[in-house]
Structure 1
C-alpha cells in the first residue's frame, strides 16, 4: 500500500487528476464548476481561496525547507559558489521567456495581451522533477540543478505577482508587512530559546506573516517562506533536494516529513481550483505562453548556463552541454505557478482561460525532452 501511495506522489497523479477533473467539469458544466470554485464554501471562504491562499502556503513552505536544507554544510548549495551556475540559468529561464513573449506579441500586435509576460517565467517543480528523473535517472546531478532552478524561478514568479500584478482595487499597503517582519522576529527568538517543535513557529510566526502579506495585498502563499529558515535544523545535510532523511528529527525535517505527503496529495485541490479551462478559450495568448515556455526557457537556461561556465562557475560534475540543453527544455513545463500567475495577469475570464491553456499545454514539452535526450544519446543514471 505504501509503495502505491509513493508511486502516486512520485508521478504527480493528484495534481494531474485535479486538472483533468477540472477540465471535464468546466467543459461539461461551466456554471456549476465556477459556482463550486468561487462560491463561499467554508463560511465566507471559497474553494479557490482555500486552495490558493491557504493550502499553497504549505506547498511553498516545503520548497523553502528544501532550499534551507540545501544551504547547510553538505547540501547542494554549500558552498554558495555551487549555486552560481544554476542561479544564472534561473535568470536566463526568466528573461528568455519574457523576451520571446514580448517579441511574439509585438508581431501579433495585441496590447491587450502584453500583461501576460509573467506567465511563462515559472517552472512546475513537481512535474519538472518527475520528467527529469525519467529522462536522466534519479541520481543524475541534473536533478538537483533543475530543482533549484524550478524553486528559484517559482519564487520569482510569485514576486512578479506581488510587484507587477497588484489588484488595482487593492493597492499594495507595505505598512502591513510589519506583521510579517514581526513573525520573523518571533521565529528567530523561539529558535534562540531552543524550542524544539515546529508548531509554535508555524502559529506564532506563520500566522502574523500570512496576515501581513494578506493585508499588504501581496500573495500570502509565501508566508512560510519567511519563517521556515528559522526552524532548527541538523548541523549537516546528507541528502539531495527532495530526498528525505528519516534519521533527521530536527524541527525543520519533521515539518517536511509530516506535511510533504499532505502537500503532494493536496495538489489535487490546486489542480481542481485552477485547471478548469474551457477548450473554446484557446486563443493567441495560448500560443504566446506555450512558445515562450518552450523556446524562451530552453534558450535562456542553456545560454546563461553556458555563460556561467565561461565565467568560471562550472556546471555540476557529470553534467555537460547536452544535459543543460535538455534541462532547459524540461524547465519549460510551466504548470502550477504558471496557472497561478495567469489567474492574476488577466481580469477577462476568456483571456485568462486561454493563458491557462497555454500553461497546461506545456506538458507536451516532456515528450519533446524525451525525444531530444534520445537524439543526443543521453542515458539514464541508475
Structure 2
C-alpha cells in the first residue's frame, strides 16, 4: 500500500468536507437528536397550553382529566381517572424506553467500564440526598417537612429534551452521563415513593410482579414468538405494581433492565443474509416472512423496542403528560402566598441549588480525588450546566405534591415552586452552557489531542518513547484512509524508530455499513496481539468486510477463531470503539482521515513529505 500516495487535504474544522470526504456519523451513539429536539418543543408547548387552559377555564381543565375510564373483563373491573391513566400507564412506557437506553449503555456502551459508570451513579445518589436536606432546612417548621420527596427527582423527559434544545456544541458524553444519572435518580425516587409515600401498600402483588420479572428474563431463551410473551408478562407486572400500591411506572424501568441487549451475532447475521438471498432467487410470501423474521431476530430486542417506541414517547406520551399535569392556576393570591411560603422556597432552593451542588460538587470531588473515569469532553464546566439542568423537577415532583400535601392551597404553592424551579434551572443551564461554549472558541475546538496516548490502551506501532507521534482517526472502509496508510508507511520507513504511530477508530457508519464491524473486528484481533496485521488485511480488501470475511481473515492470520468470535460480541470491544467515537466528537473530528501530529491537529496535505515536515516543525 506504500505506493498509494495521492495528495489530499486533511479535514479542516473550519470548512465543510471536500467531495469524497464523509462526516463522521455518531448516530449509533447519540441517536435521534432531531426527534428529541422536536419532542422537547412539543413538551414545552403542552406545558404552556396547560397553564393557559387552567387559568382561562380551570373547571373544564379539571373535569377533563378527572374523567373516569375503565376496563371490564367478565366480573373484573379496573377504574381510574384519565389523569391517572396518563401518569401511571403512559408514563410507564416512557420510563421503559429510558431504561432500555441505559441498559444498553451499561451492557455494551460507554458505561460498561465501572470506573466511568461510577461518576453518574455517585452524582445521582448525591442528587437524591442533598436537595432533600436543603428542603428540610428551608421548610422546617412549616408542617410540610414530609414533602421533602418533591425535590429529589430530576425530570428525565425535560432533561433529555432541554439538553437537545440548549445543550453545548459537544454533547455526546454529557448526554450519556445525564441519562445514566437521571435513570438512577428515577429508580431512587420511585423507590422512595414506594417506601415513604405509599399508604395502602400490599406486598402480596409484588410476589406476582417478581414472578413476572423472572418470566421476562427467561423469555430470551424462547426460540421464537418472544414478542407476545414479553407484552403479556409486562402487562401482568404493571398491574401487579399497581395493585401493590407501588407507583406502576417503576414497573417500566424494572422490565427494561431485564430486556436483553447484545451485539448482532455473526451466525444470525449470516442466516439473515442467506434467507434474503433465497428470497431474491425465489420470491414468495413464505420466504419473505422468513427473511424478515431472520433480519429482525439478528438485532437485539432492546434496540428494536427503542426504535419502535421512541417516536410515540417523544410526540405523544410526554406532551400528554405535560398537558395533564402542568395546569396550575397563577392568580395574584396564589402567587403572593407562594412568595411567602417556606414550602415554595424549599422546593425552589432544593431543586435549583441542591441539585446543582450535588451533581457538580460530587463530580468535582471525584475528579479532585481522581476517582472514576470522566472521558474527554465531560469537563467540569459541561457538568456544571448539566447539574443546573437537573434542577428541572416536573414529573415525579408534581406527582409527589399530590401524595405528600393534602391542603389544596399548599399544593398550589408547591406546584408554583416546582414550575418556578424548573424555569430557573432551564435559564441557569442555558447561561452555563453558553459560557462553556464561549470559553472554547470554535476555531480552537479540536486543535489539540484531548486524550493523551496511552500505550496500555492505544494501538501503538513504534517505540513507546519515540520523540515523534502521529495519531490517526480513521475508518477501515474509507478510500482516503487507505491512501493515507501508504503515506504512513513511507513516513515510518523514513523516520524509523523516531516515530510512533497510533490508530483510533472513527467509523463512518452512515456511509460505510461495515465500518463499525471492521473496527470491532480489529479490536478483537488486538485481544490476540494482532491489531495492525488485521488492520492491513482490512485495508487490503475494503470491499469484503461482511461477517464471513471478518472471521475468515482471523483464520488466515492464525488467530483463535473461537475466541475471536466470542470477543466480537463482548461489551469491552464495543465500548473501546464507542469510546474512540466519543473522543472524536469531543474534538470536532467530522471527517477522516484526521491526523494529530505531536498532539496538534494536522491541517493540510497528508502525503508522506507533508507529514514529515509537520513532524519536524512541531519537534522544534
Q: Give me the TM-score of the superposition, normalised by structure 1.
A: 0.87
Aligned pairs for 1:301-380 (under 5 A) are 301-309=359-367, 310=369, 312-361=371-420, 362-376=422-436, 377-379=438-440
Count of aligned positions: 363
Does the 8 Å CA contact 1:101/1:292 hold for their aligned counterparts?
Answer: yes
Does the 8 Å CA contact 2:155/2:394 hold for their aligned counterparts?
Answer: yes
Aligned pairs for 1:166-205 (under 5 A) are 166-167=198-199, 170=200, 172-195=201-224, 197-203=226-232, 205=233
1:119 is aligned to 150
| Cα distance between partner residues in 1 of 2:224 and 2:323 | 37
1:158 is aligned to 190
When residues 105 and 174 of structure 1 are mapped into structure 2, their CA distance, relative to the original with a 3 A threshold, is same
| Cα distance between partner residues in 1 of 2:99 and 2:139 | 34
2:348 is aligned to 290
Aligned pairs for 1:154-303 (under 5 A) are 154-167=186-199, 170=200, 172-195=201-224, 197-203=226-232, 205-235=233-263, 249-265=299-315, 266-280=317-331, 281-282=334-335, 283=338, 284=341, 285-303=343-361
- 1:86-134 CA distance string (max 9 Å, x none): 111111211121111111113xx312x2122111111122322333343
Higher RCO, 1 vs 2 (CA within 8 Å, ≥6 residues apart)? 1
Q: CA deviation at 1:183?
A: 0.6
Bigger Rg, structure 1 or 2: 2
- 1:157-184 CA distance string (max 9 Å, x none): 21121111113xx2x1112101111111
SS in 2 for 1:45: strand
Please, which of 121, 138, 141 is the counterpart of residue 104 of structure 1?
A: 138
- 1:302-343 CA distance string (max 9 Å, x none): 121123231521323222222222221111111222222223
Q: CA deviation at 1:152?
A: 1.4
| Cα distance between partner residues in 2 of 1:248 and 1:146 | 30
Unaligned runs of 5+ in 2: 1-31, 72-78, 266-295, 443-585, 589-620
Does the 8 Å CA contact 2:35/2:311 hold for their aligned counterparts?
Answer: no
| Cα distance between partner residues in 2 of 1:13 and 1:344 | 29
| Cα distance between partner residues in 1 of 2:318 and 2:34 | 14
When residues 95 and 230 of structure 1 are mapped into structure 2, their CA distance, relative to the original with a 3 A threshold, is closer
1:240 is aligned to none
Q: CA deviation at 1:220?
A: 0.9
| Cα distance between partner residues in 1 of 2:309 and 2:46 | 19
When residues 8 and 136 of structure 1 are mapped into structure 2, their CA distance, relative to the original with a 3 A threshold, is closer
2:104 aligned with 1:69: yes
Q: Give me the TM-score of the superposition, normalised by structure 2.
A: 0.55
Pairwise CA RMSD of aligned residues?
2.6
When residues 375 and 179 of structure 1 are mapped into structure 2, their CA distance, relative to the original with a 3 A threshold, is same
1:25 is aligned to 53
- 1:324-378 CA distance string (max 9 Å, x none): 2222111111122222222322222222222122222212322222223444545
When residues 372 and 185 of structure 1 are mapped into structure 2, their CA distance, relative to the original with a 3 A threshold, is closer
Does the 8 Å CA contact 2:264/2:298 hold for their aligned counterparts?
Answer: no
Does the 8 Å CA contact 2:205/2:244 hold for their aligned counterparts?
Answer: yes
1:128 is aligned to 159
Q: CA deviation at 1:228?
A: 2.4
When residues 248 and 293 of structure 1 are mapped into structure 2, their CA distance, relative to the original with a 3 A threshold, is farther
| Cα distance between partner residues in 1 of 2:297 and 2:214 | 29
| Cα distance between partner residues in 2 of 1:324 and 1:290 | 20
Does the 8 Å CA contact 1:97/1:296 hold for their aligned counterparts?
Answer: yes
- Which stretch shifts more, 284-293 or 124-133? 124-133
SS in 1 for 2:107: coil
Unaligned runs of 5+ in 1: 238-245
Does the 8 Å CA contact 1:97/1:295 hold for their aligned counterparts?
Answer: yes
| Cα distance between partner residues in 1 of 2:238 and 2:117 | 29
Structure showing the higher strand proportion among its residues: 2
Does the 8 Å CA contact 1:120/1:334 hold for their aligned counterparts?
Answer: yes
When residues 190 and 375 of structure 1 are mapped into structure 2, their CA distance, relative to the original with a 3 A threshold, is closer
2:539 is aligned to none
When residues 291 and 82 of structure 1 are mapped into structure 2, their CA distance, relative to the original with a 3 A threshold, is same
| Cα distance between partner residues in 1 of 2:89 and 2:427 | 33
| Cα distance between partner residues in 2 of 1:303 and 1:352 | 31
When residues 293 and 188 of structure 1 are mapped into structure 2, their CA distance, relative to the original with a 3 A threshold, is same
2:86 aligned with 1:58: no
When residues 135 and 211 of structure 1 are mapped into structure 2, their CA distance, relative to the original with a 3 A threshold, is closer
